[in-house]
Amino acid sequence: MAEQRTSIHGQWSNRTVFILAATGSAVGLGNIWKFPYITGENGGGTFVLVYLLCIALIGLPIMMAEIMLGRRGKRSPINTMRALAKDEHRNPGWAWLGWMGVVAGFLILSYYSVIAGWALSYIFRTAGGLFLGATADGVNSIFTDLVSDPERLLAWHTVFMVMTMAVVARGVKNGIEKAVTVLMPLLFGLLIVVVIYAMTTGYFMDGVRFLFTPGTIDSKGVLIAMGHAFFTLSLGMGAIMVYGSYLTSDHSIVQASIMIALADTVVALLAGLAIFPIVFANGLEPSAGPGLIFQTLPIAFGHMQGGTLVGVVFFSLLVFAAWTSAISLIEPAVAYLVENKGLSRIQAAEWMGVVTWLVGLGTVFSFNIWKDKTLTIPFLFEKFTFFDTLDYLTANVMLPLGGLFIALFSAWVMHQQSTREEMATYPLVYTIWRFLVRFITPLAVIVVFLKAVGAI
């Protein structure tokens, strides 16, 4: 029965396009903005090690599960979960898992767009020569000026939302596919340029040591590393699932997943190797927080030969990466509105765009007029702004929870016959995958959760 389904939204032209699109979703601000700063905040080496373990033992199996579910269901994650549950003669109420993903995706996009807006504005700042010869203090005050001005943040947030929705509105074939085919190869090229520069700073090995020498980590750090594994691979909210629904059945899920996870990890590590040598070469702080790349890199761009060009290239890279991820954050919601509410893609994109933009105002204000309005939730976080709260709640709670249930659904709710049909190419890999999603992955997520809230 599942074999005969086709997606009403169209399908990828070929496997390479799927891999590019999924890699485009995975590689984003998470790799280039977030990975370096949370690594810096959590002490480096050990954090990176835990993160890599989470990618291998939790992320990869869940990615295979998500692609498998999407490809079998061939609909938006909400309808896919409902349809697959029905196929398996289970409770169609599993659609809630799709709903949680839609909510997580749009919450993430609401702040993602604001940060992408910072990157957009930095392309122009760098191009205009603003950082030439700038001191650390100068660069710091340029960043502070930007984030403390709600109007400017709002303007860039708006530009980025319009860019995202313009692609989503064009649909799978004309929009997403075209955008990623151009942007992804460009992105790899641009990143290599910055890493090569980092090698010339004389502090390359300091960056390497920081990233790979084990130190200490607490249970919150482990939760953040795990949450980031979900975030960076776009897992637990249906982004990869919805991309999987545009994939035809004749491709290997295992191979595709490994390539996507590998590409994502390589980009994150490359970003670390690009950023930390520059941080150390300039005596800067790795633990500067969300502003890390914006407060530190411009100093380097301001002093190096050809720095204006490298800087413009770097921030363009960041925007491209964010763009191809943002598209996938909202695609599950848009696909659902088209399927169930009879909206055209354009209308659905407009609606979601407006709502997401509105919620984004909360993040815009978190850095200025609401800076001191903080929230404390026992066990989870203390004194968090609107932005911190959204970030923590989505990446460290909603995505792992979504992933946990995706694993449970594929391993315990679906019949073995059904999952085997989808992943039959490599019998041994299938056996290992099933063992992981049945026991190891769920257990790991639960233990990390319980440890982080101090229950064990």
Report, in Å, the least distance between residue 415 CB and ligand PHE: 28
Q: Determine the 3-state secondary structure of 384 from DSSP.
A: strand
End-to-end CA distance of the chain: 44
Nearest to 324 by CA among 14, 11, 22: 22
CA–CA gap between residue 271 and residue 85 (Å, rounded): 40
Nearer to ligand PHE, 275 or 281 (CB): 275
Nearer to ligand PHE, 25 or 46 (CB): 25
- Which range of residues in 121-129, 166-174, 309-317, 321-329 is near ligand PHE by CB under 6 A? 321-329
- Which range of residues in 14-22, 76-84, 227-235, 439-447 is near ligand PHE by CB under 6 A? 227-235
| DSSP letter, residue 246 | T
Interface characters, 9-38, with ligand PHE (x: CB under 6 A): ----------------xx-xxxx-------
Q: Are 242 and 328 in contact (CB under 8 A)?
A: yes
**Residue 295 burial by Cβ neighbours in a 10 Å radius (0-12, 13-18, 19+):** buried
Q: Are 238 and 333 in contact (CB under 8 A)?
A: no
Nearer to ligand PHE, 281 or 327 (CB): 327
Examine residue 328 and tell whether it contacts ligand PHE (CB under 6 A). Answer: yes
Residue 95's Cβ-side half-sphere holds a number of Cα atoms within 13 Å equal to: 11
Please give the residues from 228 up to 257 whose contact with ligand PHE meets the rule CB under 6 A: 231-232, 234, 237, 239
Report, in Å, the least distance between residue 394 CB and ligand PHE: 8
**Residue 196 burial by Cβ neighbours in a 10 Å radius (0-12, 13-18, 19+):** exposed
Examine residue 78 and tell whether it contacts ligand PHE (CB under 6 A). Answer: no
Nearest to 48 by CA among 240, 355, 265: 265
Q: Which amino acid is at 259?
A: M
**Near ligand PHE by CB under 6 A: residue from 211, 293, 329, 364:** 329
**Near ligand PHE by CB under 6 A: residue from 22, 108, 165, 176:** 108
Q: Which residue is nearest to ligand PHE (CB)?
A: 30
Largest CA distance in the chain: 67
Nearer to ligand PHE, 26 or 68 (CB): 26
Helix (H) or strand (E) holding 215: none
- Which range of residues in 206-214, 322-330, 349-357, 360-368 is near ligand PHE by CB under 6 A? 322-330
Report, in Å, the least distance between residue 24 CB and ligand PHE: 9
Report, in Å, the least distance between residue 104 CB and ligand PHE: 8
CA–CA gap between residue 403 and residue 224 (Å, rounded): 15
Distances (CA, A) of 445 to 224, 396, 437, 439: 12, 10, 11, 10
Report, in Å, the least distance between residue 353 CB and ligand PHE: 16
Contacts of 225 (CB under 8 A, 6+ apart): 42, 47, 50, 51, 54, 217
Q: Are 40 and 233 in contact (CB under 8 A)?
A: no
Please give the residues from 395 up to 414 whose contact with ligand PHE meets the rule CB under 6 A: none
Report, in Å, the least distance between residue 176 CB and ligand PHE: 13
Examine residue 310 and tell whether it contacts ligand PHE (CB under 6 A). Answer: no
Report, in Å, the least distance between residue 430 CB and ligand PHE: 26
Other residues' Cβ atoms within 10 Å of the Cβ of residue 304: 17
Report, in Å, the least distance between residue 303 CB and ligand PHE: 29
Nearer to ligand PHE, 56 or 127 (CB): 56
Nearer to ligand PHE, 163 or 239 (CB): 239
Nearer to ligand PHE, 241 or 364 (CB): 241
| DSSP letter, residue 203 | -
Helix (H) or strand (E) holding 26: helix 15-26
Nearer to ligand PHE, 329 or 414 (CB): 329
CA–CA gap between residue 126 and residue 301 (Å, rounded): 8
| DSSP letter, residue 328 | H
**Sites of contact with ligand PHE (CB under 6 A):** 25-26, 28-31, 108, 231-232, 234, 237, 239, 325, 328-329
